[in-house]
Amino acid sequence: MNDLSGMDDLYRDFILDHYRNPRNAGTLEHPDATFEDNNPLCGDKIRMDLRIKDGAVSDVRFAGRGCAISMASASLLTEQIKGMPLSEIAKLGKDAVLANVGIDISAARLKCALLGIKVLKQALAMKYDPSPEEEAL
């Protein structure tokens, strides 16, 4: 089948590369911030561990399973945030993720693309606005 009708735009080589060879894959020992979440509709799952030094992300690892869109988006995001001050990360949103991926994504697949950044934001929120239970731990 030669007619790929736009789908090769969505699944570009670098997306497939990040899917098959995710950057910053794995976990950190004693991370300063960590969070795991899933998308209950599809079962995609991402955990992100962060090392934070002087108000910036000094190291990051992510682990999970999911589609090419969710895994590549998360992989690209980890590359982007390494060394980034938390104040800059706070400004990252949907647009940054879509710019990384480099294409428009249908509403049905947007959740996949945004799972990584959702987990990242939650990890930082837990670290800097911990619930009482978290504090007790």
Partner 1 sequence: MSLLAGAAQAPLTETEVARIRADFPILKERPHDKPLVFLDSAASSQKPVQVIAAMDDYYRRYHANIHRGVYHISELATEAYEEARRKVARFIGTPCSGECIFVRNATEALNLVAYAWGRQHLRAGDAIVLTEMEHHSNLVPWQILAQATGAVLRFVRVDDNGVLDLSNLDALLSGAKIFAFTAVSNTLGTVNDVRELSARARAAGAISVVDACQAVPRMPVDVIDWGCDFAAFSAHKMLGPTGIGVLWGRKALLDAMPPFLSGGGMINVVRLESSTYADVPARFEAGTPAIAEAVGFGAAVDYLEAIGMARIHEYELRLTEYALAQLARIPAVIIYGPPLAQRTGVVSMTVGDIHAHDLATILDSEGICVRAGHHCNQPLMEKLGVSATARASFYLYNTRSEIDALVRGIGKAKAIFKIA
Counting contacts by CB under 8 A, is residue 98 touching partner 1?
Answer: no
Which residues are CB-contacts of 100 (< 8 A; sequence separation ≥ 6)? 73, 76, 77, 80
Q: Which of 45, 51, 121, 127 binds partner 1 (CB under 8 A)?
A: 45
> Mask 109-128, x = binds partner 1 (CB under 8 A)?
x--x----------------
Instruction: Give the residue among 62, 82, 65, 86 at the shortest CA–CA distance from 74.
Output: 62
Contact pick of 33, 69, 113, 115 for partner 1 (by CB under 8 A): 69
CB of 75 to partner 1, least distance (A): 14
CB of 1 vs partner 1, minimal distance in Å:
4
Burial of 86-120, coded b for 16+ CB within 10 Å and e otherwise, reads: beebeebeeebbbebbeeebeeeeebbbbbbbbbb
Site for partner 1 in 20-39 (CB under 8 A): 20
H helix or E strand, kind and range, residue 62: strand 56-65
Is 42 a binding residue for partner 1 by CB under 8 A? The answer is yes
Nearer to partner 1, 3 or 95 (CB): 3
Least spacing, CB of residue 33 vs partner 1, in Å: 25
With respect to partner 1, which residue has the nearer C-beta, 4 or 99? 4
Residue 27 has which token pair?
A: 């976990």
CA–CA separation, 115 vs 33, rounded Å?
A: 17
